[in-house]
Amino acid sequence: MELLGAIITLLGSIFLLLGALGIVRMPDVYNRMQAGTKATTLGSIFFLLGISVGHHQCGCVGKVIILILFIVITNPISSNAIARASHFIGIKLADISKKDELQEDKNSGVVE
Amino acid sequence: MADLLYNIAAIIALIGIILTFVRLILGPTVADRAIALDGMTVMAISLIVFIAYFSERIIYLDVAMVYALISFIGVVAIARYMERGI
């Protein structure tokens, strides 16, 4: 049981490392935002689940589950707020981007 | 065996925090720095839970919860400030 928890924890930490690598290597703000948010959310879910699976006898799994739910709810909200604000103050996309639907909606007057 | 794997996982998460810190220093705009700070906070929460289990002090889980709450409020406040000022 402890070995299973350790393997899940290792998987989660690899996702955390990939998220950090995405934050460093991606070309503009929006790509960094999506790499950092999605990979680190999945990685932290696996990390916390793995630790609490390996040490289930201490009787505090409930707090860890509440923490996982909190991370899952709040992490997309904060990254959405950052991406929206940075698009509205005029930070440009990278040059290799193909499509900008929020800019098209702004031009056609759907979004003010 | 299991303890070794747990320690390797913690070291990999720590390397992730260090990589994200590079973006926190380099980042050209405020949004880059806010994103890097957000990622660092999630990894730090994972490490705080790791420390809470392995030093057998369960009260540290409350520290992780409060840290997650304050980080969420902080990032939303930064986004609000970027969009319309204080």
- Which of B22, B35, B25, B41 lies closest to B78, judged by CA? B35
A74 CB-contact burial (10 Å; exposed 0-12 / middle 13-18 / buried 19+)? buried
For position B45, what pLDDT does the model report? 92
B15 close to A17: Cβ distance less than 8 angstroms: yes
Q: With a cut of 80, say whether residue B66 has pLDDT above it.
A: yes
Name the token pair of A110.
């759907």
Which of the four pLDDT bands, split at 50, 70 and 90, describes residue B72? Answer: very high
Maximum alpha-carbon separation in chain B: 53
The mean predicted confidence, pLDDT, of chain B is 90
For position A112, what pLDDT does the model report? 66
**Residue A97, SS3 per DSSP:** coil
pLDDT average, residue stretch A27-32: 89
Whether residue B50 and residue A47 make contact (CB cut-off 8 A), yes or no, is: yes
Maximum alpha-carbon separation in chain A: 59
pLDDT average, residue stretch B48-65: 89
- Which of A38, A64, A46 lies closest to A8, judged by CA? A46
Nearby residues of A88 by Cβ (< 8 Å), 6 or more positions away:
B83
For position A101, what pLDDT does the model report? 81
Residue A59 Ramachandran class (φ > 0 left, ψ -120 to 50 alpha, else beta): left
* pLDDT tens digit sequence for A80-112: 999 889 888 888 888 888 888 888 888 887 776
Q: With a cut of 90, say whether residue B11 has pLDDT above it.
A: yes
Where are chain A's structural domains?
A: 2-92
pLDDT average, residue stretch B65-84: 91
Q: Which domain holds residue B11?
A: 2-84
A98 close to A48: Cβ distance less than 8 angstroms: no
For position B56, what pLDDT does the model report? 84
pLDDT average, residue stretch B74-84: 89
| B76 at A interface, C-beta within 8 A | yes
Which residues between 16 and 75 in chain A have a beta carbon less than 8 angstroms from any beta carbon of chain B?
16-17, 19-21, 23-24, 29, 32-33, 36-37, 40-41, 43-44, 47-48, 50-52, 54-55, 58, 60, 63-64, 66-67, 70-71, 74-75
Whether residue A71 and residue B23 make contact (CB cut-off 8 A), yes or no, is: no
* pLDDT tens digit sequence for A33-82: 988 899 999 999 999 999 988 877 777 788 889 999 999 999 999 999 99
**Domain tally for chain B?**
1
Q: With a cut of 90, say whether residue A2 has pLDDT above it.
A: no
A9 close to A50: Cβ distance less than 8 angstroms: yes
Which of the four pLDDT bands, split at 50, 70 and 90, describes residue B86? Answer: low
Separation in Å, CA of A72 to nearest CA in chain B? 11
Please say whether the dihedral angle defined by the alpha carbons of residues B52, B53, B58 and B63, taken in this order, is positive or negative: positive
Query: Could you tell me the pTM of the whole model?
Result: 0.89
Chain B positions in Cβ-Cβ contact with residue A89 (cut-off 8 Å): 82-83
Q: CA angle, corner A56, sides to A1 and B50, nearest 5?
A: 95
Whether residue A40 and residue B43 make contact (CB cut-off 8 A), yes or no, is: yes
d(CA A20, CA A32): 9
